[in-house]
Structure formats: C-alpha cells, structure tokens
Amino acid sequence: MHTPPHHTPITLEDPDTFWALIHQAKASCAHDMEAMEAFVLERLVTLGPESARNFHHILHAYSSLAYQYGLWDAAGIIKGYGCSDDGFIDFRAWLIAQGKEVYLAALRDPDTLAEIEPYGECCFECLSYVGSDAYERLTGQSAYTEEMPPTAHQALYSRLRKEIVYKDGIQFPREPKDLPVFLPRLCAKYGGAERFQTAQCTWNLDQSVIRRMMQAGKAHDKQGTKKEKSHKKGGTQR
C-alpha cells in the first residue's frame, strides 16, 4: 500500500524524508516561520517519536555541515551588520528551511543566496528545537539527551556529506575588502562593492584560529588569482 507523502516516517537512512517534510512545510507556510514551526511540530507528533528524533538529528547534522566561514561571511552581508555565533546557528536553520535545493546551492556557492529573498532577519531559531519539542511532547524526554552512538553519528554525517559540494575556499573567513571577489553578487546586492572597501571587519581577530584561517584564505585567494590570470594568458602556472 502506498504511503501518502505526509505520512512518510523520517528515517536516518533516507535524508529525503527529512527534506520532504521541509518542502511540505515551506509550500504550506511560505515566509510565515511561526506557522512553519507549528506545521512541522504537528506533523512530527503525528509521525511518532522515532521520526521526531530522526528529524532532530538530521537537522543538526545538516547545520554542522554548513558551518563554513565563507557561508558565515555571506550571512553577515545579508544581515548588513555581521553575524554572531548564535546568529549563524539561527541562519543555518533558516537556510535549511529554504529546502534542499537552496541549501546545497549555498554550499556549492554562497553567492547564490543573492537570488533568495531574505525574511525574518534570516534567523529561524525555533526550527532547531522543533524535533526535540515534538519528541518531548511524545516521550517526556528531550532529544538533546538522546545522543547517537558514534558509529551511527558518523554514518549519518557521511550519508549527508555525499550530496554536498563545497565551493573552493568556503572554509576561510575574509576581510570585508576581499568579499567582493569571493561573493560578488551578494556584495553588489547589499551595498555595492565600494561599501566593503571601508567596512569594519566583524570577525573576532583576538581568536588565533580566526587570524590563521584568514591568512590561509588570503594565500588561497592569491593563488587562485594567479591561476586565473595564467589560464587567461594560456600559460601554465609554475
């Protein structure tokens, strides 16, 4: 017997069951995040505790896989005033709420977010909790206390990672003046390239890891520029 899409359980083995619910909620609620949260919560309660717990684990795995400094820079551009640690968590939940196609495209190239209409300050904090909320309503326990065994956790990450293609250099944070090269459409849409030549850096440069990654990003981008020039000239970069 065929199972209606809205009755399909959320399974760790098939991430598309997760995305199907996201797409249904998005189609029904559009930009109304409160309605979308309620839609997902009600559906997960109907599907049962295992689906609620699986939704929670899958969402947080996708959020972790999107923890990339280049995407964080994109979030800061869209918001216009930078993006805090908590803000980036909520931004990634908002990104997931846009659906699989938008999520994967943003990791392949964060600049594609220039095509997406921002709303709700691009923050969807409640979506991060909705799986656990449904699970707690059904069992009295928080999904945050239901840790996955390490092997299952790694298997889930590996399964989700297979479909992700990261933009070259997405792992690096950048100074504002370097962003128009990495994210030209976003910079053009949100203030113009000139704005970023004088904008203040919002990264916490007191953190040594940020300083190291930023320097590595500069070296990466410089090498990429050399390769591009060499290619245009028809030569071989030595």
Identify the pLDDT of residue 2. Answer: 46
Contacts of 225 (CB under 8 A, 6+ apart): 181
Which mean pLDDT values do the consecutive 10-residue runs of the chain (238 residues) have?
69 98 98 99 98 99 99 96 94 99 99 98 98 98 94 97 98 96 96 89 94 96 71 51
CA distance 202 to 66: 20
What is the value of pTM for the model shown?
Answer: 0.93
Contacts 24+ apart (CB under 8 A), 230-234: none
Identify the pLDDT of residue 228. Answer: 62
* Pick from 38, 53, 42, 43: nearest CA to 127: 38
3-state SS assignment for residue 146 = coil
CA distance 163 to 189: 28
Identify the pLDDT of residue 1. Answer: 43
Report domain extents, the chain: 5-168
